[in-house]
Structure 1
């Protein structure tokens, strides 16, 4: 029986693992540089841990575990706690937190490593005497610089990943789309209803604050259903799936209804704070796109293809049909919806720029 991880768990793992790799690789680099620079010229060797195979394995495992621990704390907890702070304040507050954490880790790992090196009990007084010497030694300062460097690299990775998206960052690193690639993708164009009237009612600043909350409320549903945020365009959000991910378990359609449900849960909160409760409509379609990096001053990974224009036009017909969701016939034929969902044909419609009419469906849950 295979273990099936949820989309959210898989996403978290792919974001946390790089922290472990950053810490492991930086630890190895520092050790190599240190050996090349000073070798055995330390004046005080008593507090320094001599690297043997057993200590190397322990140190590598410890570095990896510390990196994974920091990644877990960073992504699961601290990102939420400091989400509304500026970039600089985030780095400062997180650095203070992690310095205290690393001091605790040092108090745990040094005695263990020293006891392994000397092949004696961790409770032997010699271990703790050497630990005292270590805290006031140049070796300790060198270790602190290494840990601080690993920490700063981790924090910058976290912030960059959060701002441009982990998937986009990984694609840049791997060069996946350095050469244009043809893909089959599903798109959802989602647009807030009556957004112009709401903006006029609230004013630009208050409306922008509402947009931030509005988009944040969609996050969980998008993650749980394997979606990828392609673009925010004003009050519109474009979500994309690789075809296989969007079709699996009807993720693309279930994502829409999960977004709708999460927004409805906060109706009272929006009414209290903004005097309105936002709602949205969405259009769905799929097709081939060309995906690749573009730009010189600012690089982006973009999709090009007729499917994007078609999906946008499908979404634009929601008001005409007085429905919240419209799906192309092509996508409907690829889905095997559960009995809780009912497809209803709305007939064929000529879309601007399309030679053939397109049959559209809505879904009733």
Structure 2
């Protein structure tokens, strides 16, 4: 049974926490073992590093890392959404310290129970914990845990700010050298954005944009889309050609974004006294993808497909359509009973010498 796109997305966000914690713990565990090679000379409250304890500690640390990641992704990150980077790190640091205190207490008792082969509720195991709690070893353990926590939280902030898959692509070197790819691009533009901005003022308009973009998140994730960039009130979403065409995900994404925004109608009306809407254009073609920039590195797409898609978007107002796609893309889509395609003929695109056939997509409710 395969995981859904949404579950894969969250798994990709959570697993790095477990990997970071495991990598740091193995490094520090090796360091401790090297210093305390003679396990018979250590204090009785220090858990000896046996094969069983090594496996237990490795699995435990990985699970704790993943647990921190899950809490971060599903709950804590939202609590600090509007805070500055220093406030986020300090606030989260204090919150997770409480969680880790409880986990250290539980895991130490279990490890001591495994070594002594006594119940975790036995007096000797609890006495051992009391000795551990007042020892320098306990302080050392917390230094290691808090270092792992700090590294994973910084990773989370960097990853979130860079965007989907960007950090992974940088580490793997996927785009260190330019790569030619076939991709689908969808340009999404808010309708009447200038009027809305003037009505709300720049601060409230900014808040509206945050809520507006947030409402699209699940639809984009579910349909395997990647956010390429935000440009004011415009968002550019891209797919690898095969991923976007499978089950018509690129088209499905648009309609699910529409549905998600409609569900937020009351929220927008209450907070901003306005209901945003959007139009979109879609096209596919070959692009060259690579890292670009001297002062700031970024993943960059270049190719005629981007310019063409932007020009098709410009036709949506003239043709009074919410979504237009290029006729070449329409021929690659799977047959569907959910929507119909209407060929609107050949159109001359502003600033281009070549014309292109465009199609409107109508949802069949």
Answer whether TM exceeds 0.5 for this pair: yes
Query: Please, which of 98, 103, 106 is the counterpart of residue 105 of structure 1?
Result: 103
Q: Which stretch shows the higher mean deviation, 50-59 or 82-91?
A: 82-91
Contact 1:183–1:291, Cα closer than 8 Å, also in 2: yes
Distance of aligned partners of 1:42 and 1:234 in 2 relative to their CA distance in 1, 3 Å threshold = farther
Unaligned 5+ runs, structure 1: none
Query: Please, which of 65, 72, 75 is the counterpart of residue 63 of structure 2?
Result: 65
Q: Which residue of 2 aligns with 1:251?
A: 249
Runs of 4+ residues over 4 Å off in structure 1: 37-44
Q: Aligned with 1:346: secondary structure?
A: strand
Q: Which residue of 1 aligns with 2:334?
A: 336
Unaligned 5+ runs, structure 2: none
Q: CA deviation at 1:163?
A: 1.1
Q: Aligned with 1:66: secondary structure?
A: helix
Q: CA deviation at 1:216?
A: 1.1
Q: Which stretch shows the higher mean deviation, 353-362 or 140-149?
A: 353-362
Q: Aligned with 2:270: secondary structure?
A: helix
- CA distance in 2 between partners of 1:150 and 1:161 (Å): 16
Distance of aligned partners of 1:77 and 1:42 in 2 relative to their CA distance in 1, 3 Å threshold = farther
- CA distance in 1 between partners of 2:67 and 2:42 (Å): 32
1:10-40, Cα deviation, whole Å (9 max, x unpaired) = 1111111111111111001112223344655
- CA distance in 2 between partners of 1:61 and 1:285 (Å): 46
The answer on 1:267 being equivalent to 2:257 is: no
Q: CA deviation at 1:141?
A: 0.7
Q: Aligned with 1:317: secondary structure?
A: helix
Contact 1:8–1:224, Cα closer than 8 Å, also in 2: yes
For residues 166-181 of structure 1, the aligned pairs below 5 Å read: 166-181=164-179
Q: Which residue of 2 aligns with 1:311?
A: 309
Cα RMSD, aligned residues only: 1.6
Q: CA deviation at 1:165?
A: 1.4
Q: Which stretch shows the higher mean deviation, 272-281 or 50-59?
A: 272-281
Contact 2:39–2:48, Cα closer than 8 Å, also in 1: no
Distance of aligned partners of 1:137 and 1:354 in 2 relative to their CA distance in 1, 3 Å threshold = same
Q: Which residue of 1 aligns with 2:195?
A: 197
Q: CA deviation at 1:226?
A: 0.8
Compute the TM-score of the two structures, normalised by the length of structure 2: 0.96
- CA distance in 1 between partners of 2:96 and 2:204 (Å): 35
Q: CA deviation at 1:60?
A: 0.5
Q: Aligned with 1:153: secondary structure?
A: helix
Contact 2:164–2:227, Cα closer than 8 Å, also in 1: no
Q: Which residue of 1 aligns with 2:220?
A: 222
Q: Aligned with 1:222: secondary structure?
A: helix
Query: Please, which of 45, 57, 82 is the counterpart of residue 47 of structure 1?
Result: 45
Compute the TM-score of the two structures, normalised by the length of structure 1: 0.96
How many positions carry a matched residue from both structures? 363
Q: Which residue of 2 aligns with 1:22?
A: 20
- CA distance in 1 between partners of 2:135 and 2:150 (Å): 23
Q: Which residue of 2 aligns with 1:124?
A: 122
Contact 1:281–1:324, Cα closer than 8 Å, also in 2: yes
